Structure 1
Amino acid sequence: MARRSKPPVAAPAAPAETRCQLCERAVQHTSRHHLVPREEGGRYGPTVDLCQPCHSSVHLLLTNRELARRYSSVQELQRAEELQKYLHWIRRSRVERLTNRRRRR
């Protein structure tokens, strides 16, 4: 009688990469950013997927009021003068996570 062979074991899948909609880099994880902040009335408004460094930097460099009034689309965020130096740096970087990004009050 012939021996049964075991079915081949599938190799673990590589983690799926997604794109940050602000810096346009391929990253492992993204988080949902409300284009109009929730506290400014954007609870049910449009959202975009941002990597953690971009999401953290947007909220570090811009107030919620500025985000609601001046930067309610990804294209406007990409053109924001306050983010240009950051975007130039992050697009050349492989950073996946930034820590300790809160402003000191």
Structure 2
Amino acid sequence: MSRRRARRLAAELPTPSLPAPPRCGLCEREVQSTSRHHLVPREEGGRHGPVVDLCQPCHSSVHRFLSNRDLARRYPTVEALRGAEELQTYLHWIRRQKVERIRNRRG
């Protein structure tokens, strides 16, 4: 086989694509890693319930601004969580950021 033909055949082969980076279920940014968030907290009976993958800043902020009781009763879906009044200022800010980690400890 000639080099020219070999190059043409190689160019026609599909190139292996890299897996897409994870995306946060709350802010919807592409991030390096995510963690699993129980939409209904385990302490409120959500051990085997639905989960969503969140980036570290969103996961920390959800638990900073909302109690487990509020999460269970008022925000049992990701759509409800996105609409939470308590998170709107944060979500507006984080969607414009490139940060991967934030510190927002209680107290």
- TM-score, length of structure 1 as denominator length: 0.82
Q: 1:92 aligns with which of 87, 90, 96?
A: 96
Name the structure where helix makes up a greater proportion of residues.
Answer: 2
Equivalent residues in 2 for 1:1-105 (5 A)? 17-99=21-103, 101-104=104-107
How many residues get paired? 90
CA distance in 2, matches of 1:51, 1:59: 13
Which letter maps to 2:45?
G
Q: Which runs of 5+ in 1 are unaligned?
A: 1-13
CA distance in 1, matches of 2:59, 2:85: 16
- TM-score, length of structure 2 as denominator length: 0.81
Structure 1 runs (4+) greater than 4 angstroms displaced: none
Which letter maps to 1:18?
P
Q: Which runs of 5+ in 2 are unaligned?
A: 1-17
**Fraction of identical pairs, as percent:** 72
Alignment RMSD? 1.3
